[in-house]
Chains A and B, each alone.
Chain A
Amino acid sequence: MSIEVRGLTKHFNGFKAVHNVSAKLETGSLTALLGPSGSGKSTLLRMIAGLEVPDAGEIHLTGREATYASAKERNVGFVFQHYALFKHMNVFENIAFGLRVRKQGEKEIQDRVFELLNLIQLTGYEKRYPSQLSGGQRQRVAVARALAPRPEVLLLDEPFGALDAKVREELREWILRLHEETNMTTLFVTHDQQEAMEVAGRILIMNHGEIEQDGTPIEIFDKPATHFIAQFVGESNFIDTEVSEKGLAVWGPFRFSVNPGLPVKQKIRIYFRPNDVYMTAQFETLQVRAKIAKTRFKGTAIEYKLDIGEDKHISAQVPKGVALASGFKEGQEVYAAITAFHVFPI
C-alpha cells in the first residue's frame, strides 16, 4: 500500500508544526522521516495515522483519500516511542487488542497472537505484564500489537528512542529483517541520522515543518540540499567567507572553486566534512601547512583540530589505522587539503 500526502498543513496556536508537505511513499518502501525535535516529523506521522487532524491538505492511502478517515478504516499499525502498552493487560491481551475490537473469533486470535509471539521471539512470555519486560521486549510487543490486525502500513514514532545503544542496534537489525519478510510499507520517525542512514532506503529530512530534502542516504550525505542539512547530517566544518573573484573563494590559506555564477563579494558559507580533509605528514600536493592543536579519540577514527594560522582552525578525521601508522601527535606540523565541500550563499 502506498502513502501519499499533498500539501499537508497543521498549525498549533500559530506555530507551523507541518507546513505544505507533499510526499509519496511507494508500496513496500522503508522510509525514514529525519529531523531535529520540533521539526514536525511526529506531527506528520500522527496525521497519517489519524491521531491529528490536518488543517489543510490530503492524505491518500493506496490511492484512496483518507484525510478524515477513522483509524479503523485507515488500517495502519502505529508504534509509539514509549511503547504505550496497556499496563493492566498481559502480553497476550496487548497483542490481541486490535483483534478483539474487530470481534474476531477466539481461535483466530489465539493463532495470530502465537504466530506474532514467535515472530518477536517472545514465545512463553504471553502471561507477563509490560512491567515485567525489558525496554527492548516491550518495544517488540508494541510492534507485534501493531502488526496483529494485519495493517497495510507500519508507522513508527521514534521507536528506539527510549532504549540504550546496544538494544537499539539489535532492534534496528530486527526491523530491517521484519521489513524484508513482510515487505510492508514502513515509515519511521527518528532524530538519529545514523539510524536513518542504516535502516532506510530513503530519507525525508524535515526542518521547521517542511521537507528540506528527499533522497537516498548517499544523496543526503554527499549532496546536502540546504545549509541546514549540511550541518545536521554528519559532522561538518563550516566557514564563512565571500567570493573573492569570479569562481573563487579564499579562506586563510585555502582556495575554493565556487560556482562562477556567484557574484564577486557574495557572502557564502562553505561546509566540508572532517573526513574530507586529506592530511599527511609530508607535503604531497596542493596542501597547506597546519599544526595539530588537539587530538580526540572517536572510536574508529581520530579527530584532529588543525591550526592553519591566522587564528583559524578546522577539524580533520583520519581512520584510526591510518592515524596510528602515520603517528600523528599534538604539536606536529602536517599538510592538509580539503577534498570535497559544499557552498551555500548566505
Chain B
Amino acid sequence: MTKETLIISVKGNPLAGQAQALTEPRWVRWTLITVALLFIALFLLVPLAEVFASALDKGIGYYFDAIREPDALSAVKLTLIAAFFSVVFNSAFGLASAWAIAKFNFPGKNLLITLIDLPFTVSPVVSGLIYVLLFGLQGLLGPWLQAHNLHVIFALPGIVLATIFVTFPFISRELIPLMQEQGSEEEEAAMVLGAGGWQIFWKVTLPNIQWGLLYGVILCNARAMGEFGAVSVVSGHIRGLTNTLPLHVEILYNEYNFTAAFAVASLLTFLAVLTLIAKTVVGMKYEKSRQTPAARLESETA
C-alpha cells in the first residue's frame, strides 16, 4: 500500500521527475544535443547510407545478381542454420540455467554465473581457436573424429558450435535477473493447486518470462548472424560450403568486388535494422510486463 501511494505522490508532482534546480542552462543542453546528433550522423547514418549507396552503385540489376548468386545464397543458408541452432540451443540452456540459478541454491552457483559471462570476455578469435584445438586434426579429439570420418572443423558443426559459444550468454543473462525478481510464489501456487512440473512450466513460468525470453532470442539471433571472428577461425572459408554471410562479404571485398560485397553487406544491414525494430517493440512489451501492478495501475489511470 505504502508503495502505491509513494509512486502516486511522486508522479502527481510535475516537478518531482525533473527538479528545476537540476536543469542545465539552455546553451549546455543544445551543445550536448548537437554533439550527440553529429556523432550519430557521422558514425552511424553516413556509413549506413554508404553501404546501400555502394551496393546500388552498378544498378539494381547488379545488386540482385550479387545476392542471388549461388555462393551468396549458400552463405545466407549457412548463416540462417547457424543462427537457428544457436537460438534453439541457447534458449534451452538459458532457460535451464536461469531456472537453476533463480530458483535454487546449490554449491558452485556463483561460479556458474561467472562462467556464463565467459564468452563476453573472451575474444571471438580465441573462442574459435578453442574449437580448432579441440576438434582440429592436431587437436585433442581430431584423430578420433577423423578415424570415424566425422568433420567438425571447416564444416557445419564447427561453425554451429562456434556460433553457439559466442552467443551463449545472451538469453540466460536476460532471464536470470527476470526470474530472480519474479521469485517462485506463482509456481508454488500452481503446485499446491495440483499442477505438475510441465504444467507449471508451460502455464505459469513461460508466460511470465516470454517477453524477456524473446528479447534474449533477438539479441542472440542478431549476434549469431553477424558473428565473424570465431566462425572465421573454424570455417576454412570454402566458398559455397562453409562461408557465412560476414565471411562472404570479406571474401568479396578482398577480391576488390566492392559492389557485390556491399550488396551482401546490405543484407546484413537490413537484418540489423529489422532486429533493431523487433528489439524496440519487444523491449516495450517487456518493460510493460515487468512493471509492478501498482505502477501499471498508475500508468493506466494517469
The chain A residues found within 8 Å of chain B, CB to CB, are 49-51, 71-72, 76-78, 80, 82, 84-89, 97-98, 101-102, 130-132, 135, 145-146, 148-149, 162-164
Contact = CB atoms under 8 A, between A and B. Distances in A.
A296 to B, nearest CB: 25
Contact of B192 (A76, A82, A132): A76
A88 B203 CA distance: 10
Nearest to A167: B1
Most chain B CB atoms below 10 A, which of A71, A78, A80, A145:
A71
A87 B192 contact: no
Interface residues of B, number: 22
B61 interface: no
Nearest to B190: A97
A77 B193 CA distance: 7
The prevalent SS among residues of A at the interface is loop
Most chain A CB atoms below 10 A, which of B1, B185, B293:
B293
B186 A101 contact: no
Contacts of A82: 185
Interface string B281-297: 00000000100010011
B185 A131 contact: no
Contacts, number: 70
Contacts of B178: none
A101 B185 CA distance: 18
A149 B194 contact: yes
Contact of A71 (B186, B191, B289): B191
A87 B189 CA distance: 12
A131 B296 contact: yes
Contact of A87 (B191, B193, B208): B208
Nearest to B293: A131
B297 A87 contact: no
A86 B192 contact: no
A131 B4 CA distance: 12
Contact of A98 (B1, B185, B193, B204): B193
B178 to A, nearest CB: 13
A80 B189 contact: yes
B245 to A, nearest CB: 37
A195 B260 CA distance: 77
10 contacts: A76-B192, A84-B188, A87-B186, A87-B293, A88-B208, A88-B289, A98-B194, A101-B193, A131-B293, A162-B1
Interface of B: 1, 185-186, 188-196, 199, 203-204, 207-208, 289, 293, 296-297, 300
A24 B207 CA distance: 40
Contact of B1 (A87, A130, A146, A164): A164
A78 B192 contact: yes
B193 A145 contact: yes
Given A84-B188, A131-B297, A132-B297, A97 B208 contact: no
A101 B189 contact: no
Contacts of A85: 186, 189
A71 B190 CA distance: 10
Given A86-B186, A131-B293, A101 B199 contact: yes
A130 B186 CA distance: 13
A80 B185 contact: yes
A72 B200 CA distance: 13
Contacts of B199: 101
B71 to A, nearest CB: 46
B192 A71 contact: yes
Contacts of A148: 193
Contacts of A72: 194
A154 to B, nearest CB: 11
B192 A50 contact: yes
B1 A163 contact: yes
Given A131-B296, A135-B1, A163-B1, A84 B193 contact: no
Contacts of A51: 188, 191-192
Given A97-B193, A101-B203, A131-B293, 12 more contacts: A71-B194, A76-B192, A77-B192, A78-B189, A84-B188, A85-B186, A85-B189, A86-B203, A87-B186, A89-B207, A101-B194, A135-B1
Contacts of B204: 86
Nearest to B5: A164
A86 B296 CA distance: 16
A130 B190 CA distance: 16
B192 A49 contact: yes
Contact of A84 (B189, B194, B195, B207): B189
B185 A84 contact: yes
Contacts of B190: 86, 97, 101
Contacts of B196: 101
